[in-house]
Structure 1
Amino acid sequence: MSIAKEQESTRGAVKPIGAFPMTREARCPFDPPPTGRAAQEAGALTRVELSDGTTPWFITRYAEQRSLLSDPRLSADSTRPGYPVPGSSYSNDTGGSGAEGASSGFSFILMDDPEHARLRRMVTAPFMVKRIEAMRPGVQKIVDDLIDDMLTADGPVDLVEAYALPMPSLVICQLLGVPYSDHDLFQSNSKILINREASVEQKRHAIGALVQYLHGLLRTKTEHPAEDVFSDLARRVQAGDLTGDDAAMMGVLLLVAGHETTANMIALGTLALLEHPDQLERLRTEDDPGLLTSAVEELLRYLTITHDGRKRVATDDIEIAGEVIRAGEGVIVATDLGNRDPEAFPDPDTLDLGRDARHHVAFGFGVHQCLGQPLARMELQVAYRTLFQRIPTLRLATTLDQVPFKHDGGVYGVYELPVTW
Structure 2
Amino acid sequence: MTTLTVAPDSPFGLHNLPYGVYSTPGSPPRVATRLGDSVIDLARLLHDEVFAQPTLNPFMAQGYDRWGAVRRQIPELVTGDVPDDAVHALGDVTLHLPIEVADYVDFYASEHHAANLGRLFRPDNPDPLTPNWKHLPVGYHGRASSIVVSGTDIVRPCGQRKGKDDPAPVFGPSTRLDIEAELGFVVGTGSAMGESIPVEEAERHLFGVVVFNDWSARDIQAWEYVPLGPNLGKSFASTISPWVVPMLALEDARVPTPAQDPQPLPYLSMQPPWGLDVELSVRWNGQEVSRPPYREVYWSPAQMLAHLTVNGAPSRTGDVFASGTISGPAKETRGAFIELTWGGAEPVTVGGEQRTFLEDGDEIVITASAPGPDGTRLGFGEARGRILPARSTPAHRADDTGGTG
Q: Same fold (TM over 0.5)?
A: no
TM-score of the superposed pair, with normalisation by structure 2: 0.26
Using CA pairs under 8 Å that are at least 6 residues apart, name the structure with larger relative contact order, 1 or 2.
Answer: 1
Q: TM-score, normalized by length of structure 1?
A: 0.25
- Structure with the higher helix share, 1 or 2: 1
